[in-house]
Amino acid sequence: MRIAIASDHAATELKADLRDWLVENGHEVADLGPEPGESVDYPDYGAKLASVVADDTAERGIALCGSGIGISIAVNRNAAVRCALVSEPLSASLAREHNDANCIAMGARLTGSDMAKACVTAFLETNFLGGRHQRRVDKLSNLKDS
């Protein structure tokens, strides 16, 4: 699978760990940055990630920051992307099954490497159920400001 991964400066270590693990498991991974030691703004990297998922350069995306909250908000600014903040495998599976999430976000200060890998595994191995969930997902892509 083609996977893009991006973080802010608080999550470069977890990003590198996940990137290497994903490559070892046969995935094509685009590391969108940043490099360790750079102080960066999570909205910039969230926007980069959302862009490559929205244009199908990557099939799925993994967004990381200190808490996962800020970067998930940034990624979700793109209407073509559905990014779920997850902290354990069940939420990652449900994000795929019910919401057809094409990105997940995690917090490096809150989620250790082993748990992050378990979340990514659930996210990548779970299929969207469709059915009654499809119309709800369709609505997410067509929300208008009131």
Domains of the chain: 2-141 (3.40.1400.10)
Tell me which of 65, 83, 103, 119 is the catalytic residue: 65
CA distance 34 to 39: 9
Please say if 103 is a catalytic residue.
no
Tell me which of 27, 83, 98, 103 is the catalytic residue: 98
For 127, phi then psi, to 5°, come to -100, 155
Residue 26, marked binder: no
Residue 41, marked binder: no
Which has the closest alpha carbon to 127: 78, 51, 60?
60
Residue 27, marked binder: no
Q: pLDDT tens digits for 18-69?
A: 999 999 999 999 999 999 988 999 999 999 999 999 999 999 999 999 999 9
Q: Is the predicted pLDDT of residue 144 greater than 80, yes or no?
A: no
Residue 135, marked binder: no
Identify the pLDDT of residue 93.
98
Residue 107, marked binder: no
Report pTM. 0.95
- Name the one residue in this structure whose structure tokens are 């703004």: 41
In contact, 102 and 75? CB cutoff 8 Å: no
Please say if 65 is a catalytic residue.
yes
Q: Is the predicted pLDDT of residue 132 greater than 90, yes or no?
A: no
Q: How many CB atoms lie within 10 A of CB 144?
A: 4
Residue-averaged pLDDT of the chain = 95
Identify the pLDDT of residue 145.
62
Residue 5, marked binder: no
